[in-house]
Amino acid sequence: MERVAAHGHMRMVEAGEVLIKVGTPITHFYVVGSGTLEGLQPMENGETTVRIITSGQFTGEVSMLSGRPALVTLRVRDPGEVIEVDREKLLSLVQTDAELSEIFVRAFLLRRVALLSGGFGDVVLVGSNHSSDTLRIKEFLTRNAHPYTSVDPDRDSGIQDLLDRFRFTIADLPVLICRGTAVLRNPSNRQIADCLGFNESIDQTHVRDVAIVGAGPAGLAAAVYAASEGLDVLVIESNSPGGQAGSSSRIENYLGFPSGITGQELTGRAYTQAQKFRADVAIAETATHLDCAPKAYKIQIDSGEQITARTVIIATGAEYRKLPLDNISRFEGAGIYYGATFIESQLCEGEEVIVVGGGNSAGQAAVFLAQTARKVHMLIRSKGLAETMSRYLIRRIEDSDRIILRTCTEITALEGNGHLERVSWRKDQESSETHDIQHVFVMTGAAPSTKWLSGCVILDEQGFVKTGPDLSREELAGAQWPLSRPPHLLETSRPGVFAVGDVRAGNVKRVASAVGEGSIAISFVHGALQE
Ligand SMILES: Cc1cc2nc3c(=O)[nH]c(=O)nc-3n(C[C@H](O)[C@H](O)[C@H](O)COP(=O)(O)OP(=O)(O)OC[C@H]3O[C@@H](n4cnc5c(N)ncnc54)[C@H](O)[C@@H]3O)c2cc1C
């Protein structure tokens, strides 16, 4: 307490005094000397107590690091004395005092987990689990670790009262009730981020040392190293932090996690770590154009804003390949999925599912889904898995009596009214057979997300960004490379613009290599900033 007190001041507090108001930015951190504080959540008929904080305990959860609006009101229950510390000073303290940092950051994370599992949020989602937009909104909130309560009208008949209160009909769903007041009808991810104030505390106008585009493992690793080494860093993420890895049910080959870790957990921790070191992470903002004029680079954002930075790290990874079927987009999120996490596994509990693809991500999905689904049909176009999948996964697939491997097989048609109902497939180019299956997991690899670079840096034939020694003399001359030195290892054909992770030509498509490249790119960024 003495060490904390050195960064703040003692003050008396009166019963009933509000120290932090729900929905407003958190400005202070408190340690209770005497008396008690209570964390309160507004409810329809008053408030509910989420937590009591007594002498020797401290306030805060993850929003303390991110600067996002408070999820609970903090009020004095019994008068006493507290140490009051500015949020800015607390952030400096967690960076300089490793012991206190461990205690605070661990508590902030665990308290967020408790808020998540208790559904203590300022958001209520009303929508059917069979709707693709309900699923999208759930994934967005979950991957941003924002607690919410969800109500499914298919299961909860009492829902009409709630809808009547806001003058909505079933046809308006999904509806998101945000902070108890704003009611959003089928909101985009960006509207949700705006309503919950995800980007409120981020200044997007000043020139950054480094702008990182993409918050998958590569971008998050770059953010952690850049921010911890004192650089002014802004990360721009079009969806939620975590990238492809965030959609992995269990990553078993990442060093240091012998029993595996879910992609959501791994990348969620990395996101908190980046915020701890004061990296700004703008959520639901898409980079649409990179202006490569020399000196400060400019990144155009879909919101109309422009980010200026002295160096840029391209970490936009890759997007899932789709099946070549005309009506596939009609069923995306309503029977067609590109990731197999806990949310999707709940939707197909006890049912038959299809996993398409023969790589490691498909193998993981099949093994994971076999825990809850009745039967998993694994469809691959080749004759076997040996050339495309790790041996440990092949063995688990062989050992599972719920997984049926169907070689030389491809999907030919999807049918359904709103939600997917039937799937046709054919083997060895013979005639198709149709099955009543409502869930298909497409795990057929990914293509690089590089369209937004608009010719600014040199790409290979598949659209991946070329870097360092992969760039030939002729290519550099064509791109008017201006320096006497050749590009650094991860540097593109523009000085100070780097590419890391899955988006980079020649990258090994693994979490570990994305993290490795993201972190070493920062040493080159330091050099480029001094040039
Ligand atoms: C289901 C699944 C399971 C996997 N399992 C494993 C595993 O067990 N072990 C392993 O080592 N690897 C695994 N992988 C591979 C691993 O996840 C990837 O190699 C890794 O995520 C690549 O990281 P990245 O940061 O380079 O790119 P990504 O993870 O693709 O992240 C890129 C990010 O950039 C964002 N973005 C894209 N375009 C823009 C834009 N224009 N503006 C702003 N943001 C943008 C995206 O939204 C995304 O968040 C798996 C992949 C999948 C799909």
pLDDT tens by residue, 392-407:
999 999 999 999 999 9
Q: What percent of the chain has pLDDT over 70?
A: 98
Distance, CA 239 to ligand 1 centroid (Å)?
12
Residue 327, SS3 per DSSP? coil
Distance, CA 318 to ligand 1 centroid (Å)?
6
* Cβ–ligand 1 contact at 518 (below 6 Å): no
pLDDT tens by residue, 420-469:
999 999 998 888 999 999 999 999 988 899 999 988 999 999 899 999 99
Closest atom of ligand 1 to 501 CA is 26
Residue 320 or residue 424, greater confidence:
424
Question: Average pLDDT of 317-327?
Answer: 89
**Pocket residue to mutate for ligand 1, from 261, 454, 511, 515, most atoms within 8 A of Cβ:** 511
* Cβ–ligand 1 contact at 90 (below 6 Å): no
* Cβ–ligand 1 contact at 286 (below 6 Å): yes
Question: Average pLDDT of 28-49?
Answer: 89
pTM of the full predicted structure? Answer: 0.84
At a CB cut-off of 8 Å and minimum separation 6, what does 196 contact? 68, 69, 122, 123, 146, 178, 179
Distance, CA 364 to ligand 1 centroid (Å)?
15
Q: Which two tokens stand for residue 267?
A: 């990348």
For residue 210, CA distances in Å to 18, 236, 452, 488 come to 38, 11, 18, 16
Phi, psi for 310 (deg, rounded to 5): -80, -30
Closest atom of ligand 1 to 446 CA is 53
Protein residue whose Cα sits closest to atom 8 of ligand 1: 251
* Cβ–ligand 1 contact at 234 (below 6 Å): no
Pairing relation of β-strands 336-337 and 440-442?
Answer: parallel
Question: Mean pLDDT over all residues of the chain?
Answer: 92
227 pLDDT band, cuts 50/70/90, is very high
Q: At what angle do helices 360-369 and 391-399 cross, to 10 degrees?
A: 30
* Cβ–ligand 1 contact at 248 (below 6 Å): yes
Distance CA 267, CA 255 (A): 14
pLDDT tens by residue, 116-162:
888 777 888 988 887 888 989 999 999 998 999 888 887 776 677 76
pLDDT tens by residue, 204-215:
889 999 999 999
DSSP assignment string, 375-409: EEEEE-SSS-STTTS-HHHHHHHHH-SSEEEETTE
Provide the pLDDT for residue 132. Answer: 82
Distance, CA 214 to ligand 1 centroid (Å)?
9
Closest atom of ligand 1 to 236 CA is 43
* Cβ–ligand 1 contact at 510 (below 6 Å): yes
Q: Please list the alpha-helical segments (H only) found in 157-262.
A: 159-165, 189-195, 217-228
* Cβ–ligand 1 contact at 239 (below 6 Å): yes
Bridge partners (DSSP) listed for residue 299: 290, 307
CA angle, 411 then 413 then 416, to 5°: 125
Q: Which two tokens stand for residue 11?
A: 């003050």
Distance, CA 320 to ligand 1 centroid (Å)?
10
Q: Which two tokens stand for residue 198?
A: 């995800």
Q: Which two tokens stand for residue 231?
A: 């650089």
Question: Average pLDDT of 472-480?
Answer: 95
Question: Average pLDDT of 65-73?
Answer: 90
Provide the pLDDT for residue 429. Answer: 82
Distance, CA 317 to ligand 1 centroid (Å)?
5
Protein residue whose Cα sits closest to atom 30 of ligand 1: 317
Q: Is 168 a residue whose pLDDT tops 80?
A: no
At a CB cut-off of 8 Å and minimum separation 6, what does 140 contact? 189, 192, 239, 240, 284
**Pocket residue to mutate for ligand 1, from 213, 220, 244, most atoms within 8 A of Cβ:** 244
* Cβ–ligand 1 contact at 339 (below 6 Å): yes
Distance, CA 251 to ligand 1 centroid (Å)?
12
DSSP assignment string, 5-35: HTTSEEEEE-TT-EEE-TTSB--EEEEEEEE
Closest atom of ligand 1 to 285 CA is 43
Distance, CA 431 to ligand 1 centroid (Å)?
36
Distance, CA 245 to ligand 1 centroid (Å)?
5
Give, for 413, the enclosing helix (H) or strand (E): strand 409-417
Q: Is 44 a residue whose pLDDT tops 70?
A: no
Max CA separation in the chain (angstroms): 81
411 pLDDT band, cuts 50/70/90, is very high
For residue 434, CA distances in Å to 25, 375, 412 come to 54, 16, 9
Distance CA 370, CA 397 (A): 9
